[in-house]
Amino acid sequence: MEKSKDLELAGQELDQILIDDFEIDSLVFSKMADAIPDMLCVTDIQQMRKIYSNAHVHHLFKMSKKEINDMGLRFFEKTIHPADQYNYFKEIDSLKLVKDEHISEFKYRIIDFEGKVRWLATKRKVLKRDGQGTPLQVIGISQDITQQIELSEERQRLIDERAQLKVLQQQQLFEAIINAQEEERRNIAENLHNEIGQLLFAAQLKLSSSETESRTLLNAAIKKVREISFELTPVLLNDMGLEAAIKDMLERKLDTQQISFNFSFSVKTTRIDKNVEVIIYRILQELINNTIKHAKANHVNVLVMQKGDELYISQTDNGTGLDKAILSDAKKGFGLKSIMNRLHILNGVFEVFSSPESGTKVLMNIPLNGAK
Domain over 36-144 is classified CATH 3.10.20.30: no
Query: Which of 246-262 are b and which e, b meaning 16 or more Cβ less than 10 Å from the residue's Cβ?
Result: bbbbbeebbeeeebebe
Query: Which residues have CB under 8 Å from 137's CB, separation 6+?
Result: 42, 43, 44, 45, 51, 126, 127, 128
Residue 138 burial (CB count, 10 A): 20
Q: In Å, how far are 198, 209, 275 from 222, measured between CA atoms? A: 9, 18, 30
pLDDT in tens, 242-295: 898 899 889 988 988 899 999 999 988 777 878 888 888 889 988 998 888 888
CB-CB contact of 330 with 341 (8 Å): no
What is residue 333's predicted lDDT score, i.e. its pLDDT? Answer: 53
Radius of gyration of the chain (CA): 40
Mean pLDDT of the chain: 82
Return the closest-CA partner of residue 135 out of 47, 236, 75: 47
Residue 187 burial (CB count, 10 A): 12
What is residue 273's predicted lDDT score, i.e. its pLDDT? Answer: 79
Q: In Å, how far are 32, 36, 56, 89, 117 from 60, measured between CA atoms? A: 18, 14, 6, 21, 11
Return the closest-CA partner of residue 275 out of 363, 176, 173, 184: 176
CB-CB contact of 330 with 337 (8 Å): yes
Domain over 241-372 is classified CATH 3.30.450.20: no
pLDDT in tens, 163-220: 888 877 876 776 777 777 767 777 776 766 666 767 777 777 777 666 777 777 877 7
pLDDT in tens, 206-222: 776 667 777 778 777 77
For residue 11, what pLDDT band results from cuts at 50, 70 and 90? very low
**Structural domain spans, the chain:** 1-33, 36-144, 241-372
What is residue 10's predicted lDDT score, i.e. its pLDDT? Answer: 47
What is residue 77's predicted lDDT score, i.e. its pLDDT? Answer: 94
Q: What is the pTM of this model?
A: 0.52
